[in-house]
Structure 1
Amino acid sequence: MGGARVGNGAPMVVEAGVPGYGAGAGPDVVPAMWGCGGRRRRRLLWGFFALLLTAVVLRRFNLSDLVPMRLRGRVLGLQAKNSQFLLEDKPFRIFGGSMHYFRIPREYWRDRLTKLKACGLNTLTTYVPWNLHEAERGTFDFSGNLDLKAFITMAGEVGLWVILRPGPYICSEWDLGGLPSWLLQDPEMQLRTTYKGFMDAVYEYFDHLIPEVVHLQYKKGGPIIAVQVENEYGSYAEDDNYMGHIKKALLKRKIVELLMTSDNKDGLSFGFVEGALATINFQKMEKDIFLKLDNIQHDMPKMVMEYWTGWFDSWGGPHNVYDVDEMLETVEDIIKTGASINLYMFHGGTNFGFWNGAVHFEEYKPTISSYDYDAVLTESGDYTSKYLKLYQLFTELTGNTQPLPPLGLNKASYGAIVMQQYLSLWEVLPSLVEPIKSEQPINMENLPVNNGNGQAFGYTLYEAVIPGGGKLDSRGHVRDRAQVFVNTLFIGYLDYTTQELSIPNGQGYRQLRLLVENCGRVNYGHKLNDQRKGLIGDIFLNDTSLRNFKIYSLEMKPSFVQSLHASLSWSAVPDSAVGPAFFRGTLQVQHMPQDTFLKLEGWEKGAVFINGRNLGRYWKIGPQETLYLPATWLKQGHNEIVVFEERAAGRIVQSTDLPFLGRIQYVS
């Protein structure tokens, strides 16, 4: 123990005996120790006695008594051994459910988590959206509805383990699969590869994300028992070295729990990384499907990381529904094999604002605002027949009666909300937004806004002066949908399928306007690098490229909506009101606010803002016909509703206590 220091900092040395004090020492020696020269010996003696006392105490008490209660017995964590999971060497089955904190109002987190636990599940899984936590490069937000620590801690308080899925890519029908749009400012960007520009951004993100959760791991006393490496990479598989880099990045930042990967049956072998347990995703229980896991990892536990309880919806399509009895039968079959299971989704929630993703295979299809998913709990957290049958199943499976689920939340119908005021976009634009002048079109992500991070979502208006009429040709450069105007006269739409319009002749120079909407970036597939929005190239009139643009960034953030209050141009809604325009009304709440749903019958396409916050998109093509409005967004008294309508405006917004997500189609 020669390295320890006591008192004035001198090295403490424990000697076998004290010279001159022991056998053969005369009485005249002892008094000499208490003189000036004996102080050092006295300190040595007291140090020696203290060590003896410490040794006696440690022999009488167990060393584990010095370990915090929350850490006792937490040594091995979740292990994958001999075809089964072990938690501290005891057999363990994962019965999980997915829900995402960023799709649920924070005030409802505990309600949803409690319902998951009461259903008989023992584990929560959640994604982490990079593009919300780092909306601007180098600026990180883990507050409010993005307080990941609070969400995970609350899950632990409810009695749930947690499997964390931090990405960086998450898919999840979320804009760009959770990747921030500012990555696309780099014209050479190669997402989800070891391309330096991408990996440097990932490392910086992990440097801020992982410290938020590292102390919440199981071995640190928290509820996180496993962490997923990326997500469904086998379906992308652009870089053989990529998954290894992501795994090392997690380990380097002190992730110590079991690592997992997640893929569908076709991507298993390409998404596998040594040192992580492979899991599988599916909806239908095909014969010998688990043999595909055995082919890449022998004698390991089986887990369905995503058992799809329903499916998401796209604008213009049906509302997808998965039969409850077929779902229950498949869940039972999975459990009978001895596999663990995670229900994706247990509760879907809402794609508030403009954060929905899209798919683009044969055609481009943006996802709707609702992420109801036909899940076990509805978008608003209500029970379904799926919940009741799963509750019975897990009660029988465990042999224990589950705690009674909490009561459902009341819904309210606040009646018709009359839109009383009107504000044309053309009238308010000059006073609210400073235009960007550019000889050529600039895509949304490269606009010099948001501290150099570009525009992430919403609308972008491009204006150019034209001398006459003729053929307007986008040549595929409109992403995703543009309303075309000459001055304020509506001409038509340009999108992926309609790329030409006829511009009528007129006298003198006129203003051509293209109001381009980002309808949602692709979240899955090989088009991730091709998701720049706005005008991504030249627009041609009579085969001549247009030049000298004024460009207006219209993200419609809360600050923009709030600035509409200062406008003096609000007027009564005219009989022939058309968009693009803002319409304003008041929702009156006399008592404690309750959840409700807004129906925009008679309106065409746009977005709804409640007290300055973006509730989501609506579109007459369906399937979604109501927008979920949580009570937490309302206040007692006056609530301002602003509707941004692109074209054909209605007169009222109806508040109802029942959702309607459109014509049902059963998933086959």
Structure 2
Amino acid sequence: MGAFQARLACVLCLSSASWMAAALPGRNPFRIDQSHLTPSHRQTRGMGLKVTGSNFTLDGFRFLIVAGTMHYFRVPREYWLDRLRKMRACGFNTVVTHIPWNLHEPKRGQFIFTGNLDVMAFLFLASEVGLWAILCPGPYIGSDLDLGGLPSWLLQDSKMKLRTTYRGFTKAVDHYFDELISRIAPLQYQYEGPVIAVQMENEYGSYHLDKNYMSFVKRALMRRGIKVLLMTADNGKDVINGHSKNVLATLHLKNIRKETYTKLSSIQGQSPIMMMLYTTSSFDMWGVARHFQDSNVMMENVRDMFKLRFSLNFYMFHGGTNFGFMGGATDLNGYHPMVTSYDYTALLTEDGEYTSEYIMYEEFFSQVIEVPESVKPERIPKTAYESITPTHFLSLWDVLPYLDEKIKSFKPINMERLSVNQGNGQSFGYTVYETSITRGGYLYSGNHVRDRGQVFLDKQYIGVLDHSTDNLAVPQNQDKKKAKNLTILVENQGRLAYGQNINKERKGITGDIYLDHSPLRRFTISCLDMTTNFIERNLPNHWKSITPKTRGPAFFLGYLKIDETPNDTFINLEGWNKGVIFINGKNLGRYWKIGPQKALYLPGPWLQLGRNEIIVFEEYKPGLKIQFTNTPDLGY
């Protein structure tokens, strides 16, 4: 008996015998026939997913959920079908996906459910390939996203209490759910859709600031027409705090002990065990060694869970990419922002390649589950394009005069409260704070720079203020009668994705900055949010030729010419330092020489025949070339 199985031995009283009676005869007594329980095979619909004693049933038949998580918003829409087919071919019967509020409602009352955010189209594709779906609509979803997927404009309210029944929060949730649930409710099982269950919130037991909150979420879902089985999901020690009456409690594989199952039994009696988050690894952070998981230990755990007839969900089956600025951060052992890749050492790589672990689970599932045969997609070709040399640049100082909505303020204002984006504040990117000083001394931030501020005196770089550095020497002014321009370029590197501290999350400059003991005053503040609209409309057409002395912060322009059908590739900015890459106006994500990630994934569908515009916003010193490779480099 393995260590995991020994730890869970107390739940062997689950009705394994009844499962064995339903198993197919042959070499494996635990083999389960579920080949008739797929969206594409069900001609009529019965009772849906139910809890029947210690088992799940679907249409009255015993059903083991073998799920994998995939986020549609982290995968190019053109590759959804490929990734879902690979999931089905591996032996999975269910896809789990989270729905990010901040991406769907980036501004109050302005909703996006098209393109890469067309969750309805994603679910239709899942049904077509024979996968059921479990949805996690939040409102908070975690998922290692900026603010856990909550929109930053909520933070304009200085009294905001996220994930509670605070009126300012529940009113916004109601408005969002009115739009979201009306779209996903028709895709439930009862209406011949693929959705068999909905997870309420995410790990609320570890947050637990309001005992009435989960009841509010439950009512909000049900009165808008959610009829399928409702679930909660918490780690072992918090399962009771996160539970809601008449809702199935499921587990995340964390802090699992024998007493965890005693707690489960006390709140819901005999029930199936669903390991709603069986994690393959963890997200990677800038400046920290890459995370790995022991695949042999994982396989042993999965074997044990199958013997115990646990349903399970792999987080992640396919991780994808934190395109743009969607990635969040953690404050465990200090503030750490996420890298651009969300590879997560999942069963499919960031670019959709099969891993050795995928092959291992494909073989295992074929032995224990009887599923319809499906065609396994071929690998997607990759190309290492010829390196290109940027030819032109625009410095930050060239761009600032053309930025819209400059704000004059006596004191610094954090980015969420800026009067930009139709009153919704600034969500992502950089914010520029400018003021005048007549003397030098020491700048003291009081930890009010969130998260990383480059400081310039008359356009000359003098240092950085961030979470670990709160003071900086400013050179003395030789002519005390002449004012100098002090500029702080502040980057939001990602809001916290977890924990009670999300209520305190504000970005930009969040309080006073002092020169010696005097607070700086009279700021001009500019929004540098790096959206597609910004790249296409706000950059002035005054590009200059690059010289050996050209430095950042600046935008560097180059062109990639493609003569054949574009393929996936990876951009390696060796020799560059830190910044953001844009491909044909789309924000590919952040790069940073401190690693661990060294190359950024560029999907082929983002490229086009002929000329492709590449713009690199480099904060320090540019490299000589933009290089391409056909293999990822996520570090070690």
| TM-score normalised according to structure 2 size | 0.91
Secondary structure of 1:644's partner?
strand
Please give the per-residue CA displacement for 1:204-242, whole angstroms capped at 9, x wherever unaligned.
Answer: 100000001111000111010000111110111111110
Matched, 1:601 2:574: yes
Secondary structure of 2:575's partner?
coil
Is this contact kept in 2: 1:324–1:385, CA < 8 A? Answer: no
Q: In structure 2, what is the equivalent of residue 618 of structure 1?
A: 591
Give, in angstroms, the shift of residue 423 of structure 1. Answer: 1.3
Length, aligned pairs only: 594
Q: In structure 2, what is the equivalent of residue 336 of structure 1?
A: 307
Give, in angstroms, the shift of residue 319 of structure 1. Answer: 1.3
Is this contact kept in 2: 1:279–1:303, CA < 8 A? Answer: yes
Which of 467, 470, 480 lines up with 1:496 in the alignment? 467
Matched, 1:369 2:343: no
Matched, 1:435 2:397: no
Matched, 1:319 2:293: no
Q: In structure 2, what is the equivalent of residue 113 of structure 1?
A: 84
Please give the per-residue CA displacement for 1:445-465, whole angstroms capped at 9, x wherever unaligned.
Answer: 010011100000000000011
Q: In structure 1, what is the equivalent of residue 30 of structure 2?
A: none
Matched, 1:511 2:485: yes
Residue 413 to residue 287, structure 1, CA distance change in 2 (3 Å): farther
Secondary structure of 2:608's partner?
coil
Letter of the structure 2 residue corresponding to residue 551 of structure 1: I
Is this contact kept in 1: 2:236–2:256, CA < 8 A? Answer: no
Which of 439, 453, 462 lines up with 1:468 in the alignment? 439
Measure the CA separation in 2 of the matches of 1:567 and 1:359. 39
Matched, 1:154 2:125: yes
Measure the CA separation in 2 of the matches of 1:648 and 1:421. 14
Residue 167 to residue 401, structure 1, CA distance change in 2 (3 Å): closer
Letter of the structure 2 residue corresponding to residue 544 of structure 1: S
Matched, 1:635 2:611: no
Measure the CA separation in 1 of the matches of 2:508 and 2:594. 22
Letter of the structure 2 residue corresponding to residue 656 of structure 1: T
Measure the CA separation in 2 of the matches of 1:244 and 1:488. 54
Matched, 1:185 2:156: yes
Measure the CA separation in 2 of the matches of 1:195 and 1:399. 48
Is this contact kept in 1: 2:402–2:538, CA < 8 A? Answer: no
Give, in angstroms, the shift of residue 472 of structure 1. Answer: 0.7
Matched, 1:170 2:144: no
Q: In structure 1, what is the equivalent of residue 21 of structure 2?
A: none
Q: In structure 1, what is the equivalent of residue 35 of structure 2?
A: none
Letter of the structure 1 residue corresponding to residue 462 of structure 2: I
Measure the CA separation in 2 of the matches of 1:417 and 1:325. 42
Letter of the structure 1 residue corresponding to residue 611 of structure 2: H
Which structure has the larger Rg over C-alpha atoms? 1
Is this contact kept in 1: 2:235–2:255, CA < 8 A? Answer: no
Secondary structure of 2:500's partner?
coil
Is this contact kept in 2: 1:285–1:334, CA < 8 A? Answer: no
Give me the CA root mean square deviation: 1.6
Measure the CA separation in 2 of the matches of 1:405 and 1:584. 40
Measure the CA separation in 2 of the matches of 1:70 and 1:251. 28
Measure the CA separation in 2 of the matches of 1:534 and 1:183. 16
Please give the per-residue CA displacement for 1:138-164, whole angstroms capped at 9, x wherever unaligned.
Answer: 111111111111111111111110000
Please give the per-residue CA displacement for 1:157-199, whole angstroms capped at 9, x wherever unaligned.
Answer: 1111000000000100101000000000000000000000000
Which of 413, 421, 427 lines up with 2:384 in the alignment? 413
Letter of the structure 1 residue corresponding to residue 229 of structure 2: L
Letter of the structure 2 residue corresponding to residue 602 of structure 1: G
Measure the CA separation in 2 of the matches of 1:649 and 1:284. 46
Which of 229, 254, 270 lines up with 1:258 in the alignment? 229
Q: In structure 2, what is the equivalent of residue 383 of structure 1?
A: 354
Give, in angstroms, the shift of residue 432 of structure 1. Answer: 3.4
Is this contact kept in 1: 2:91–2:371, CA < 8 A? Answer: no
Please give the per-residue CA displacement for 1:360-393, whole angstroms capped at 9, x wherever unaligned.
Answer: 1331000111000000000000000110010001
Q: In structure 2, what is the equivalent of residue 354 of structure 1?
A: 325
Q: In structure 2, what is the equivalent of residue 239 of structure 1?
A: 210
| TM-score normalised according to structure 1 size | 0.87
Percent sequence identity is 51
Q: In structure 1, what is the equivalent of residue 394 of structure 2?
A: 423
Measure the CA separation in 1 of the matches of 2:47 and 2:186. 16
Secondary structure of 2:317's partner?
coil
Q: In structure 2, what is the equivalent of residue 549 of structure 1?
A: 523
Measure the CA separation in 1 of the matches of 2:555 and 2:466. 23
Q: Which moved more, 1:502-511 or 1:396-405?
A: 396-405
* 1:135-150 equivalent positions in 2, closer than 5 A: 135-150=106-121
Measure the CA separation in 2 of the matches of 1:565 and 1:593. 27
Matched, 1:203 2:174: yes
Q: In structure 1, what is the equivalent of residue 4 of structure 2?
A: none
Unaligned runs of 5+ in 2: 1-39
Is this contact kept in 1: 2:578–2:619, CA < 8 A? Answer: yes
Q: In structure 1, what is the equivalent of residue 36 of structure 2?
A: none
